[in-house]
Structure 1
Amino acid sequence: MKNVIVTDPPRTAVADLDLLAEFGVATVHEAFGRTGLVGASLRPLQEGARIAGSAVTVLCWPGDNLMIHAAIEQCRDGDILIVTTTSPSLDGSFGELFATQLQRRGVRGLVTTGGVRDAVDLRSMGFHVWSAAVNAQGTVKATPGAVNVPVIVGGVTVNPGDAVIADDDGVMVVPRLEVARALEASQARTDKEAAARAAYLEGVVSMDQNKLRGVLADLGVTYEPYTEA
């Protein structure tokens, strides 16, 4: 691993981030070909938040948060901080003092494969977090790492400047150069779901709306009247 802090990478436009946040993780994930989801291991610290931001990535040594300190001054309005470690670690490497700095800089939240602490404070100040653990275990500041380099989160590659969407359904990543396609596909899916919702309110069932009766028939599923054994 190269110990480096990359400055001023290109970012996803804030207007596009705001649109992605409105669509939410489930819609964008389905519309974008069911790719980019980091899995179920990262859970929201809060409820009801739906955000999207441009990734500032941090690669730390386990049990060490030095590079989070280094990353803060690379952050700006509309970003999300993405933190992972060179090997698994659930130590509480992030807390209220980090969040205070990031919130002041307009950062929209944190996604980390590690742990966070000061959970009550993070919730009360409205700083949004998705993490693998809540853990009071502290860390040191002694080992170099990297900022704004490609990292792996839940099997998904996150490059600096990629769009990261996070809500109660999880976290997903859209590569920066594919954001326009994701937005177009998400709008099409939203329109399709609106038509389906209207049909369901009229009493149509999803078997007919989605033309699934033929699928069942092709699979050999039959309907038979109930009879007493």
Structure 2
Amino acid sequence: MTNVIVTDIARADASTIDALAVHGVATVHEAMGRVGLVGPSVHPVQQGARIAGSAVTVLCWPGDNLMIHAAVEQCRPGDVLVVTTTSPSLDGSFGELFATALTYRGVRGIVTTGGVRDVVDLREMGFAAWAGAQNAQGTVKATAGSVNVPVVVGGAIIRPGDVVVADDDGVLCVPRAEAASALAAAEARVAKEAGAREAYRTGDLSLDRNDLRGVLADLGVQYVSQSEWHDDGR
């Protein structure tokens, strides 16, 4: 494998990225057709953070954070650092010093399959993190990897410049070329849900609003009284 640092990645439109952050992971994920979700292998270190940004990707060797040091230089305002390793590792490769350097550069957070440490400091700084573990185990700086190459994070392939959306529900990758269409779909979903919310406030049933009674009937689900249920011996 060739080890590279790609320096000139393309990024999505900043206003589109910011709007995707407002809608959040669940809404955008559903609007995209339920694709792009990283899954439960990474968890929010804090509560209440909701971000989106352009992915600067990092591929490290297990137990080694050399390439995170190299990646800091490639970060721009509005980015999200995305870190994984060539094989599974939960060592604490990221902490407060990295967060300080990235905050100066306008980075919005980190998503890593590995571990983070200095968690109290990260929370006090307001630096958002999603990680595979919280782990004080340190790392070395000795092995080459790559920056801004495609990486696999949980169930998603994340390419440099893709839009990463992250909140308490998890982490989602929106391919850069699909950011605008994903936003349009999310806005349409929000409008549809607003109508449903108002209907539920006045007593409508989701069974009727979503035409689910026919689905139940097609699946053989029957309505019976309690007495009928017991009389049937079940």
The two structures have a TM-score, normalised by structure 2, of 0.96
Q: Percent same amino acid at aligned positions?
A: 70
Letter in 2 for 1:41: S
Letter in 1 for 2:145: G
Aligned match of 2:166: 166
Aligned match of 2:175: 175
Measured against aligned partners, the alpha-carbon deviations of 1:101-126 in whole angstroms (never above 9, x if no partner) come to 00110000000000000000000000
Aligned match of 1:121: 121
Output the CA distance in 2 between the equivalents of 1:7 and 1:13: 18
Aligned match of 1:133: 133
Aligned match of 2:24: 24
Deviation at 1:155, TM superposition (A): 2.9
Letter in 2 for 1:58: V
Output the CA distance in 2 between the equivalents of 1:17 and 1:184: 12
Runs of 4+ in 1 over 2 A off after TM superposition: none
Output the CA distance in 1 between the equivalents of 2:99 and 2:132: 17
- SS of the equivalent of 2:129 reads strand
Measured against aligned partners, the alpha-carbon deviations of 1:28-82 in whole angstroms (never above 9, x if no partner) come to 0001010000111100000001100000000000000000000001001000000
Aligned match of 2:223: 223
Paired residue total: 229
- SS of the equivalent of 2:22 reads helix
**Structure 2 gap ranges (5+):** none
Deviation at 1:180, TM superposition (A): 1.1
CA-atom RMSD in angstroms: 0.8
Measured against aligned partners, the alpha-carbon deviations of 1:75-98 in whole angstroms (never above 9, x if no partner) come to 010000000000000000000000
Output the CA distance in 2 between the equivalents of 1:216 and 1:158: 39
Aligned match of 2:35: 35
Range 84-93 or range 155-164, more displaced: 155-164
Output the CA distance in 1 between the equivalents of 2:91 and 2:193: 41
Aligned match of 1:105: 105
Output the CA distance in 2 between the equivalents of 1:205 and 1:121: 46
**Structure 1 gap ranges (5+):** none
